């Protein structure tokens, strides 16, 4: 029952589109009509600058941290954490409050890993993602390479099957949310749709 309650908490928190609400409140804009139309922190930043984007980012990260950290503090470990760790991102991506058209889930995934590992895995993820993104300028490709590097890190330094399965499932979810970028050519007008 505890696993179900924490999973429900994670999905419920994840489904709250904080970035959309903050952008409306802070700039009066609907971020789904800005940039790539994603109701996430990046478009909140575009709509209202750092005063809107930064709180949106931290709230999206927090959606992943809170349920996982609470579940761990209650004594849950191992495979019991898998549905709880997936729930915030699934809630964010398939938010019922947005009729299933939520964000891409990257900040929430980062929050999940903070809840699971403290700062270790987020440092690995950000350490790979930032240089790749700056060098490649294609978010989707950068994210996929980062997921591969992070998975390699797990195989080399952690033999935690739960973490490896979680990262694999999150990788599939990120592939889904970035499918337009991944499966179109860089100059294809549909890549920006």
Length of the chain: 193
Measuring CA to CA, how many Å separate 175 from each of 18, 23, 38? 23, 26, 15
pTM: 0.80
How far apart, in whole angstroms, are the C-alpha atoms of residue 86 and residue 125? 17
User: What's the pLDDT score for residue 192?
Assistant: 46
How far apart, in whole angstroms, are the C-alpha atoms of residue 190 and residue 20? 24
How many CB atoms lie under 10 A from the CB of residue 30?
14
Each residue of 44-89: pLDDT tens digit? Answer: 888 888 898 899 999 999 999 999 999 999 999 999 999 999 999 9
Each residue of 150-191: pLDDT tens digit? Answer: 777 777 776 788 888 898 898 888 888 877 776 666 555 544
Instruction: Provide the pLDDT confidence category of residue 116 given band limits of 50, 70 and 90.
Output: confident
User: What's the pLDDT score for residue 179?
Assistant: 76
User: What's the pLDDT score for residue 118?
Assistant: 80
N- to C-terminal Cα distance for the chain?
42
User: What's the pLDDT score for residue 34?
Assistant: 85
Provide the mean pLDDT of the chain: 83
| Assigned token pair, 121 | 């895995």
Residue 9, φ and ψ in degrees, nearest 5: -60, -45
Residue whose structure tokens are 């790979």? 128
How many CB atoms lie under 10 A from the CB of residue 117?
16
């Amino acid at each position: 029952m505890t696993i179900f309650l924490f999973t429900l908490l994670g999905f419920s928190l994840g489904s709250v589109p904080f970035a959309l609400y903050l952008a409306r409140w802070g700039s009066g804009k609907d971020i789904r009509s800005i940039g790539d139309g994603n109701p996430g922190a990046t478009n909140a930043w575009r709509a209202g600058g750092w005063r809107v984007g930064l709180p949106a980012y931290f709230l999206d990260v927090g959606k992943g941290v809170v349920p996982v950290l609470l579940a761990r503090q209650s004594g849950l470990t191992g495979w019991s954490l898998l549905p709880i760790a997936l729930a915030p991102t699934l809630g964010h991506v398939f938010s019922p409050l947005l009729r299933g058209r939520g964000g891409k889930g990257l900040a929430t995934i980062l929050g999940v890993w903070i809840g699971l590992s403290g700062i270790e895995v987020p440092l690995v993820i950000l350490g790979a993602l930032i240089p790749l993104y700056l060098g490649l300028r294609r978010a989707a490709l950068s994210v996929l390479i980062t997921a591969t590097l992070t998975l390699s890190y797990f195989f080399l330094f952690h033999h935690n099957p739960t973490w490896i399965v979680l990262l694999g499932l999150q990788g599939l979810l990120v592939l889904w949310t970035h499918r337009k970028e991944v499966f179109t050519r860089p100059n294809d007008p549909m890549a920006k749709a």
